[in-house]
Structure 1
Amino acid sequence: MRQAQREPRGRDARRPALRVFAYARRVKPRSRYLARLRRRDGGGCVAYDPWPTAADVADAVSPPYEGAGEAGDWAEVVVSDGVARGAVYARAGSALASLIDIAARHGLDPVFPPAVEREVEALFEGAGEAPPGTDDPGLADLSELPFVTIDNESSRDLDQALHLSRDGDGYRVRYALADASYYVRPGTALFDEALARGSSFYLPGWMVPMLPRRLSEDLVSLNPGVPRRAFVFDMHVDGDGRCTRTLVIRARIQSQAKLSYDGVQAWLERPQSATAPWSDSLRLLAEVGQKRIEDATERDVVRHRRRSVEVGLEAGVEGLRSFVMDSAMRNDVERYNEQISLLCNVEGAKLLAAARDDAGMQAIFRVHPSPPAARLEGFQAMTETLGALHGLAPWRRGEQSLAAYLASLPWEGERARASRAIQRQAILINVRSTFSDEAAEHHGVGAPVYARFSSPMREIVGVFLHKELWESLHGESLKAEGAPDDETLRAAVIEAANRSKALQRRLTALGNRLAIDQLFARDVEAETAPIRRGTVMGLTHGKLHLQLDDPAIDVKLYRADLERALGVELRLTDGDTAWRVRGDDGREVAQVGAPLDVRVSHRDVGRDRWVLLPLRAPARS
């Protein structure tokens, strides 16, 4: 059926068409790339370049390869005189190779185009002892303050550093963000490539950066012991944790330590003398972070309690051969640090909203609408059913906020599983957030406006917003000659940001699937497949959603598989919270919020899924 083309109206009529940037991202043949080795007629291998090309450039013949490696391996190669020479990057069949396969299928090239590499080299040309850009006389000098970064132990692209101090009855919070927009300017190959990528992309234990690593892990990253440019939010916070004033400056800082969430958590939990120059700052982080959490609770911001599963790569005798999964709850320090980041993004969004009358301001907001009324009504009905089954109080909309209700649920004891199932259903009533040029609420943060300033090396939105805010506040242009106009750029940035966020969700699912495949394959290969206990999180007519206890991953059981294995017909009952055997006895097979023991039976190759079958339902604990 053909559809009539709608004439643009309202804001759509004023929005310019997206410009197609002329910068050719890929030109073949390339002299350096990550190659898939393929068997060559007559022996040996060729180095195949699988990454995307410009549409008008024909693929070159894969050059012969010289170096270690076999067909199927991935190798880093440099081509000269028609021959590719290099070394193995990932062995065929390894976990790392499977991740690179995923990246290649989605066009995520870890190697940057020559034009980008030349611009990076130019940044360092003629630099003196100070890192390029850090000797700028226009920078405020905050290098004596004991800033520190707090991130995961393995992180190397350090976007944020913080320093907290007393300010009368309140606090002064300085939140320094890597000044990527100074180096990555519209009109350059660096910006165009970052825009084409949209963000950095993360797979288990491996990532494809938005910016070249010489920037994202070196010159721009807030590494300890070296001067760095920073975009600093100087925020004054009162004794209740509310921000009363914010100033944005560009400064030179020098982080004094690269700390980890677990390390700071351990430091705060054991009594010790204040020996490090940042000791007071960390103690104040805990104070301000807790006050911000309490303030969020008063504003009825929903806090979802959930265990995260970290999927990484495990080294073996032949490299990164397998996946490893670790389940954990976020610790307090990670939540405190998150609160400072959220505060920075809210304050930045307020500045953007206040400057919207500026004719040149092109703001981008992160918008998250409240759940629709129909979903809230359905959730309330579900809590009434599960509450009656598991001895929990139901949610009474209009009498109690959703945040207060979820906080009241028990997280220990025999009803903890039912609480987790209710928590999962509460997450599912939300709608997805998006990037937009319209200022609107962010329900998940509990803020009237919100913007993503805090990840300028990982998201193109951060680069663009830093540029826009600085130009609005100080009138200094941060664009190269010949760059597109800002309104066109904003439209392209919004499209890239929303696209990259959707792609990251897909990559996360694919990466986790590889880890699950490895886990369940080992179960099937075992002499006796292990029993895995989990919590039934939800039921539909065709599927059962189960979260395993260890590792805390989500898996599906299919009704058709169970009916074939058990020789019965199942029906969905009890307000869509139970599967029962159809017939006179109505025996319960699964109940939302109850435990369920399962074994991996086999892999259904035709349907590309694992078949898990339940054992006898265990006692509810």
Structure 2
Amino acid sequence: MTDSKRFEKKRKMLMEFFTDKEYRPMRFRDIVALLQVPKDSKNELKEILDSLVSQGSIVVDDKGRYLVPGDNIKTGIFSGTQRGFGFVTLEGEPEDIFIPESSTNGAMHGDKVAVMLTNEKSGKRREGIIVRIVERGMTEIVGTFEKNKNFGFVVPDNNKFHDIYIPKEHTKGAVTGHKVVVKITDYGDENHSPEGEVVEIIGHINDPGVDIMSVIKAYGLPVEFPKDVLRIVDFIPDEISPEEIKNRRDIRDLPTVTIDGEDAKDLDDAISLTKEGDIYHLGVHIADVSHYVKEGSLLDKEALKRGTSVYLVDRVIPMLPHKLSNGICSLNPGEDRLALSCFMDIDSKGNVINHEIVETVIRSDRRMTYTDVNKIVEEQDEELIEKYKDFVPMFMLMLELSEILKKRRHKRGAINFDFPESKIIVDKNGKPIEIKPYERNKATKIIEEFMLIANETIAEDFFWQEIPFIYRTHENPDEEKIKALAIFINNFGYSLKLGNDDIHPKEIQKLLIKVEDTPEEALISRLTLRSMKQAKYTVANTGHFGLSTKYYCHFTSPIRRYPDLQIHRIIKENLRGKLTESRRSHYEKILNEVANHSSKTERRADEAEREVEKMKKVEYMTEHIGEVFEGVISGITSWGIYVELPNTIEGMVRVSDMDDDFYIYDEERYQMIGEHTKKTYKLGQKVKVEVISADKLLRTIDFAFVEDEE
């Protein structure tokens, strides 16, 4: 018998031995004793066991014991950490599974893995062993190249990945400091580093724009449109045809305005508003993008692939080419444009008592900005009131109706997480020159309320028509996370009223109102947000917890979100009486995948946007090393005290660097106390900090406390 056949026979016998044995983990020495393996055969036994482990037939737990995987194997996505251990997130399950460093079985961050649970005891965190890697999540990684004499290696931007060894012949001429894209050729193991080859040099780490382009490449965001797609766009007219106008309701004489930020170029929503007696007649008019982006076309396939536009501080990666988004689909003032309009009659309590959805042709009268509208309605700016005197009554009516709608949402329990967003201003080289909170005023809130009510109205209409559709849903929070939040806030004297199964959004709303303007507001608001699930796109209408509504969809931004574009097609087919059984069947087949893909591309965009924002904040602070700022303590942990500055930048004072005393973390009261001086640092406390360091690669900012001079 050949060696390979003998090896295979022993492997089979060993597998039978494991299967026949009572289900219990065994150490190597136990197996040797039970099988009475001679000393000179121990190495062969170890080799056979290793081959069974690599195959996934048996696994090794974190105590080095071998066992056969039971039925409790699940598939999920592995999230690695810098410290070696990780977590597996399972689709549809609220709690992830902890994976000790010794049980990762070579899995890398983002891999799809099969995991076996090793403990499911009530009240304890679930732990597991990765049995096998089902699919590699990352085949290419972005990082910084470092050259040695006979080889190179790449330090990944994402610190959840290990350094990647690059053989000399695969460096592509990269030099130290180059940002590169690496294709992984060998994922390595506990004894060997991953190996790869440089497939693209993005540029030098210090070159303008290379930092953001590195994030774009890392997240696989498509930048350039394929030539075939751009050729299609060339054939799209710059003006709408008289023939198309005949097929639509002509509302060009209806006073209509767009209200956007100063730098907005794609104006995809316009508003009209009048009032008769106690009834408001609100019109929300959305650019009819679906007229130009036909289902199944190359342009449509590219838009679906992208899923959403991505906003990265100094640039936008659009879902649609600029000729559409900034041209024929932009509701520019004085230009005839095709729209899909939702007309709503709203009573004095904010209830929509009647509505109509219509294909229209509109001509916006004014391109207004949030700043100017706010100056008119809030500040009573005389110069602007004179300039826009024909529209001022409509702006005042908009404010009146928006406050009614806001009051109605508040009454039913809608939750408002009012974290200040960051406005980052950069120079022509992408260098941040100013960072400040993004201003939200009465004008931005007017538009928010009108978009919300239109989205609700459309969703409710199509739900009751029982037409295949895409909804924007937000599931109730996980029971365990809410219980943990309730225990946490109890330390601050707050409570949550929990029902038998679920919590009502009104309880969350009440909590956020109670913590407003308190020292612990920032921490409790953030922890409350983390206890919520992510909103997503689904074909089943399961309601929206955060908005406290049964019906919600995304209808108002088809230029930048694919689900909006998708439901525009369905709405128009329905209006034209063309939603036959075969078309309904068609939508039932495709919508689930469209919804899932759109949710994924939205998460990808959010993560990329956050990454660039963090990077620019760190870059900004590198110019302010040694400077002193006033801030507020926003979080306290055993390893450090987080301080947030008025410009939204957050840094940390490391406990290990606080050398004026030995500080002890009081976990119950969330404060840090000096052992000898009894000096105390509490949430919400105003402090002065000096900027010590800012690491652009790790995205960290370090502060040190500065004492006031007596």
Superposed pair shares fold, TM > 0.5: yes
Give 3-state SS (helix, strand or coil) of 2:604's partner. helix
Give 3-state SS (helix, strand or coil) of 1:523's partner. coil
> Is the contact between residue 571 and residue 580 of structure 1 (CA under 8 Å) also seen in structure 2?
yes
With the length of structure 1 as denominator, give the TM-score of the two structures. 0.74
> Is the contact between residue 471 and residue 477 of structure 1 (CA under 8 Å) also seen in structure 2?
yes
Identity in percent: 19
Count how many residue pairs are aligned between Structure 1 and Structure 2. 509
Q: Deviations over 1:258-310 (max 9, x none)?
A: 11111100011316469544333211110110001111121122223332211
2: CA distance between counterparts of 1:133 and 1:458? 27
1: CA distance between counterparts of 2:629 and 2:572? 54
Aligned counterpart in structure 1 of residue 373 of structure 2, from 261, 264, 267: 264
2:268 is the counterpart of 1:159: yes
2:464 is the counterpart of 1:354: yes
Q: Deviations over 1:112-160 (max 9, x none)?
A: 1111112112222xx7xx4358834211000111211111110001111
2:214 is the counterpart of 1:101: yes
Give 3-state SS (helix, strand or coil) of 2:688's partner. strand
2:695 is the counterpart of 1:599: no
- Cα shift at 1:93: 4.2
Aligned counterpart in structure 2 of residue 174 of structure 1, from 283, 308, 319: 283
> Is the contact between residue 187 and residue 482 of structure 1 (CA under 8 Å) also seen in structure 2?
no
Structure 2 equivalent of residue 555 of structure 1: 651
- Cα shift at 1:419: 3.4
2:525 is the counterpart of 1:428: no
Give 3-state SS (helix, strand or coil) of 2:414's partner. coil
Residue type at the aligned position of 1:293 = K
> Is the contact between residue 366 and residue 452 of structure 1 (CA under 8 Å) also seen in structure 2?
yes
> Is the contact between residue 308 and residue 330 of structure 1 (CA under 8 Å) also seen in structure 2?
no
- Cα shift at 1:564: 4.3
Change (3 A) 1:607 1:513: closer
- Cα shift at 1:362: 2.6
2:614 is the counterpart of 1:513: yes
Structure 2 equivalent of residue 44 of structure 1: none
2: CA distance between counterparts of 1:534 and 1:408? 22
With the length of structure 2 as denominator, give the TM-score of the two structures. 0.65
Q: Note the residue ranges of structure 2 that are not aligned, 5 or more in a row.
A: 1-55, 58-68, 76-91, 93-176, 180-202, 500-505
Change (3 A) 1:91 1:242: farther
Q: Deviations over 1:291-331 (max 9, x none)?
A: 0111112112222333221113224xxx5544531224411
1: CA distance between counterparts of 2:539 and 2:336? 35
Change (3 A) 1:132 1:156: farther
2: CA distance between counterparts of 1:492 and 1:323? 42
Residue type at the aligned position of 1:221 = S
> Is the contact between residue 94 and residue 322 of structure 1 (CA under 8 Å) also seen in structure 2?
no
In the TM superposition, what are the counterparts of 1:349-428 in structure 2 within 5 Å?
349-356=459-466, 361-387=467-493, 394-395=494-495, 397=497, 401-409=507-515, 411=517, 415=518, 417-428=519-530
> Is the contact between residue 692 and residue 703 of structure 2 (CA under 8 Å) also seen in structure 1?
yes
Residue type at the aligned position of 1:563 = S
Structure 1 equivalent of residue 188 of structure 2: none
In the TM superposition, what are the counterparts of 1:237-316 in structure 2 within 5 Å?
237-268=346-377, 269-270=379-380, 272=385, 276-315=389-428
Structure 2 equivalent of residue 27 of structure 1: none
- Cα shift at 1:498: 1.0
Change (3 A) 1:455 1:598: same
2: CA distance between counterparts of 1:221 and 1:508? 24
Aligned counterpart in structure 1 of residue 601 of structure 2, from 500, 524, 536: 500
2: CA distance between counterparts of 1:604 and 1:276? 52
2: CA distance between counterparts of 1:239 and 1:606? 54
2: CA distance between counterparts of 1:249 and 1:486? 21
- Cα shift at 1:607: 5.6
Give 3-state SS (helix, strand or coil) of 2:545's partner. coil
Q: Deviations over 1:193-227 (max 9, x none)?
A: 00110110110021110000000000111111100
2: CA distance between counterparts of 1:443 and 1:242? 19
- Cα shift at 1:603: 4.4
1: CA distance between counterparts of 2:702 and 2:450? 44
> Is the contact between residue 590 and residue 617 of structure 1 (CA under 8 Å) also seen in structure 2?
no
2: CA distance between counterparts of 1:408 and 1:567? 36
In the TM superposition, what are the counterparts of 1:4-153 in structure 2 within 5 Å?
93=206, 96-124=209-237, 130-132=239-241, 135-153=244-262
Aligned counterpart in structure 2 of residue 490 of structure 1, from 591, 595, 602: 591
Structure 2 equivalent of residue 15 of structure 1: none
Residue type at the aligned position of 2:246 = P
- Cα shift at 1:569: 5.4
1: CA distance between counterparts of 2:661 and 2:268? 56
Residue type at the aligned position of 1:308 = E
Give 3-state SS (helix, strand or coil) of 1:166's partner. strand
Aligned counterpart in structure 1 of residue 659 of structure 2, from 566, 569, 573: 566
Q: Note the residue ranges of structure 1 that are not aligned, 5 or more in a row.
A: 13-70, 74-89, 388-393
Change (3 A) 1:542 1:134: farther
Change (3 A) 1:618 1:580: farther
2: CA distance between counterparts of 1:134 and 1:492? 35
> Is the contact between residue 615 and residue 699 of structure 2 (CA under 8 Å) also seen in structure 1?
no
Aligned counterpart in structure 2 of residue 324 of structure 1, from 425, 434, 448: 434
Greater Cα radius of gyration, structure 1 or 2: 2
Q: Cα RMSD between the aligned structures?
A: 3.5
